[in-house]
Structure 1
Amino acid sequence: MELAWGEDFDVLADVSKSVFARYSPLEDRTNNVPFADQVAQFAELGWLQLGDPSGVDPDSPSLATIAGIFVEMGRALAATPLIDLMTTRDAALLIDTAESADLAKRIGNGDTAVISVFPSADWGTSVSFDDGVLNGVAPAVEHADHADGFLVHAGGAENVVVYVESGPSIGVEAMPNMGGHPMFEVTFDNVPVLGDVLARGRAADRAVEVAAQRAAVLRAAQVYGAGLRLLDMTVLYARTRHQFGGPIGRFQAVQYLCTDIAVAAHLTSVHARAAAAALDAGLDPQPHLGLMCKQAGKAALEIVHSAHEVHAGIGYMVESNVHLFTDAAKRWQFDFGSAADNDAQVVAALDRIYAGDHS
């Protein structure tokens, strides 16, 4: 398997640089582009229509190509709803019904902002669907306060995916967090599902699984981009900060720390490319995804730790941009889960492969 980014990766990356400069706190901390304006711009650029997770359209850009956008999003440290919207669209396309296709089209055109609610068992809470209504609590849902509707993966007699529009019957409560991320707790209290169930059973689970896998690759690409930017900042500081008669970058200990950032970032890129290639080729991505998630979560910790070691106390000052990466890294570590979970995912996938099950 060739571990390379997609054919038009560089093209998308070049366009993304100028776009995300508008959102980057590294350029201007007063940047506060309204949610609706972000959605409108992404729709105008055609980004919300990129990729065909079902593999039906051979001309659709690959996941390894789309990742170019997210590398630059990470490099700019831009906080946008792009991954969330694309994940919902991917899940809708994978369900493959007339209703879900229409929903995917409206998301892609920027006509509606629909956020996925895929509760995690790790939180000890879930959302259930029985007798046509939703009940339960889903924590850590990003951008829920701006959602026009939610695509919900719920349990019950069988797992289902349903769409519900936002309204007073759905509670959205902010979850304060260290990084200031737009995370919310979404509560469904006897919320009626007015339309048909979009998917049931294995079809529902599979759509959510693949959409989440694609989102994980894009998040890892974001971590890779952030690592590249933080490496540039740290190397520059090591060259310009003078102590004991010269730049601190002349000391091997400082050089090792800069190298640690580079290695962590580039290893994340390797595993992200491998996972993207497997998903694009329709192969079992689980071994690559497990390794990618483990590495990306580890990198999120290592890149900021090494950068702070080089910058020392100034990295914690409000005037420094280093601590902004620390805030973002905490969210990324949460996204990628524990190393133990990722190890188990890799082992389970390898067991299936060695047993001759390539599904």
Structure 2
Amino acid sequence: MTLGEKIKQKARELAPKYIDVRRYLHAHPELSFQEFDTCRYLKDQLLKLGVNDIHSVANTGLLATIKGGKEGRQLVLRSDMDALPILETNDVEFASRNEGVMHACGHDAHMSSLLLCAEILIDLKEELRGTVHLLFQPAEELMPGGASLVMKEPVYQKLGQLPHIGQHVRPDLPVGTIGFRPGKFMASMDELFLTIKGKGGHAAMPENAVDSVLIASHIIVAAQQLVSRMASPKTPSVLSFGKVIADGAINVLPDEVYIEGTFRTMDEAWRSSALKKLNKMVVAMAESMGATAELKIKHGYPHLINDQSLTSELRVNAISFVGKENVIGLDQWMASEDFSYYSHEHPSCFYMLGVGNSDKNIDSGLHTSTFNIDESALEIGGGLMAFLAISKLRD
């Protein structure tokens, strides 16, 4: 029996157990930096598997180590842990019991897959040449991101530079599908908070006011020049404003308008330059129309880079495990992920696991109240991670 066949058989046998684990985690979600019960549950599961080398990281995260039967190199497998502030509307028995909090981004599946992977690695310890570190990382969804805190932990820093591998569910990919993208894959993310102050007044007498609503409208439209005319067409960039508060009335021009948005790109030099240009633009435009503007920028995650060599190697191994027809190339994705912090310091690969199934009406997008997964993906995801880890350390 080949290594792949052994792992597939074990993953198949273990899948029902980890479907139950996923359902427990789904029913008990916790927000970023609040994953205390989740952390205790994961630690208990690891101890039951016989994993005793466990360290706390970033307060609510865990770094666990599995040593193989033979000496060799090391790598890190990462799962995130936190849920989102979303009220779940799925009609399932394992729906969230924490009202207003939901695993709407699949982190429950990530944790379950990594635990399944851990049990396979332990069962096949003699096949494992080297050491696998399991990183259960908190607070992926909230800046500054749990990854940035994990990387400051002494126990993590002692590992040195190691390959980092992460897996993320994608409901837009059919279950059984694995997606890879070498090079620049996901975008940086910065949060924008803009306040425009004018002079309020009666809507019927605009000559006596400084219309902050009209000025804000001009700024929102003009700011798109940052993407359409200032950015290179070869550099993906997105500038979006999703919140505008102008607390006037049908006949009242408000004193100020408050706007929130996000800027995303895949080039760190352009990212820095673009934000400076944006600040200069909004301040100058507001002043030219008699108002003032203040732009506060909350810097978020860098763009995510998949190491070319590592990603190519893992793709070849994934084809060996799930078949060429089930491994696809992916487009760049303007979503952001704090796994990106690891990717700037270590050879890293962040790949996608298909969990969608339109025949079962499992096709809701990430971060929605009806998000769910085809749970057969756990067998594939956990088995694949184990296969990739053992194969990488063998090579």
State the TM-score, normalized to the length of structure 1: 0.28
Larger RCO (CA within 8 A; separation ≥ 6) = 2
